[in-house]
Structure 1
Amino acid sequence: MKNHILSAFRLTFAMLVIVGIYLGIVYVGSKILPTHGNAEIINHNGKKFYVNIGQDFKAEKYVHGRPSAVNYNAAGSAGSNKAPSNQEYLQTVQKRIDTLKMKNPEMENAKVPVELVTASGSGLDPDISPEGALYQAKRIAKARNISVEKIENLIENQTEKPLLGLFGPSKVNVLKLNIALGQIK
């Protein structure tokens, strides 16, 4: 009986230590992160936008983000749950590739960035790679009647580099980039 009680106390103590470490990390993160662990919100043209939730942009003059398995509904965050070998999934991706090439005809032979044709696990990913944004630069320049170089420079300026150059890939927030595009004269 003593062994069971001693084991229970050890397990309880170990769990207290683990939970304490977790809470300590959450507390420190909430103090040092730029948004203090909260959502980053942008007020633009009298509307509130959450930067860390993907938005649906369809107009030709905007950068398009990742497809969403939940139609960008933050209340229903989810992926498609279909395997990469699933025939229905493969057909969906092929349709997205065909649509992307049709909307960006000048990029016909260019490699298609994977995030432009596949949904993320949450269906709400707000970021794409710089390559994904650059893939769309010619279409956007044509729709806005400005130079491709201007769009490419803006994409470069909006690219977020990985922390200390080590943690994760470079990325572009689609909402921030589209707001910046709207400010080009």
Structure 2
Amino acid sequence: MIRLIRSAIVMLLLLTAVTGVLYPLVATGLAQALFPSQANGSLIEKDGKPVGSALIGQSFTDPKYFWGRPSATAPQPDNAAASTGSNLGPTNPALTDAVKQRIDALRAADPENHAPVPVDLVTASGSGLDPEISPAAAAYQVPRVARVRGLSESQVRAMVSMATAGRQFGVLGEPRVNVLKLNMALDAH
């Protein structure tokens, strides 16, 4: 019986060392060597200081900025520690009310814009942390951002075009615009 207990303890210690220490060290080392930016959070820096991540959305509400997708995280929007969707189904009145409020906020920020509101500007994603919007969502906001910043719409459209990433490998996903990078480019202009 003591021999069985001893061998069980030895296996526990061995597997703990391999799976709890050795494997994480090797995985972390490889990630740092092969993908240093991603392993460190894909941070975006301005003047040597991190201002956000290319992978996590940020809440912009000032009319001079492009706004990202709504976030369902709590207690504040785009809380990376609380990644979650709203879990509200299409027939839930709370979702309908939230979408109406978001449309009202967009219309209040740009009362002259009567174009249909792109769905990604009024619905949260499954993670609640999307850093990107569709080119249509960016195009919808161009008149407001151009007017508030005193730029021409063609200048802002050109910046949106430069910030638009295509499909991965030309076939995967959809074209997208990283909101933080676009807003930083606008601030640098």
Superposition TM-score tier, normalisation by shorter sequence = 0.7 to 0.9
| The one of 139, 159, 166 aligned to 1:161 | 166
How big is the shift at 1:47? 3.5
Distance in 1 of aligned mates of 2:56 and 2:149: 25
2:79 matches 1:73: yes
How big is the shift at 1:104? 1.9
Assess, with a 3 A threshold, how the Cα gap between structure 1 residues 34 and 177 changes in structure 2: closer, same or farther.
Answer: farther
Distance in 1 of aligned mates of 2:103 and 2:36: 36
Stretch moving more, 96-105 or 40-49: 40-49
The aligned residue for residue 54 of structure 1 is: 57
Distance in 2 of aligned mates of 1:68 and 1:95: 14
Given residue 64 of structure 1, which amino acid in structure 2 is its aligned partner?
W
How big is the shift at 1:34? 8.3
Distance in 1 of aligned mates of 2:178 and 2:118: 15
How big is the shift at 1:50? 1.2
| The one of 105, 108, 112 aligned to 1:102 | 108
Given residue 152 of structure 2, which amino acid in structure 1 is its aligned partner?
S
Q: What root-mean-square deviation, in Å, do the aligned CA atoms of Structure 1 and Structure 2 show? A: 2.1
Matches within 5 A, 1:1-185: 35-36=37-38, 38-45=40-47, 47-48=49-50, 49-70=52-73, 71-108=77-114, 110-184=115-189
How big is the shift at 1:94? 1.2
Q: TM-score, normalised by structure 2?
A: 0.76
Which structure 2 segments of 5+ residues have no match? 1-26
Q: Deviations over 1:15-59 (max 9, x none)?
A: xxxxxxxxxxx99x9577684555211111454111110101111
Q: TM-score, normalised by structure 1?
A: 0.78
The aligned residue for residue 11 of structure 1 is: none
Identity across matched positions, percent: 44
Assess, with a 3 A threshold, how the Cα gap between structure 1 residues 89 and 147 changes in structure 2: closer, same or farther.
Answer: same
Which structure 1 segments of 5+ residues have no match? 1-25
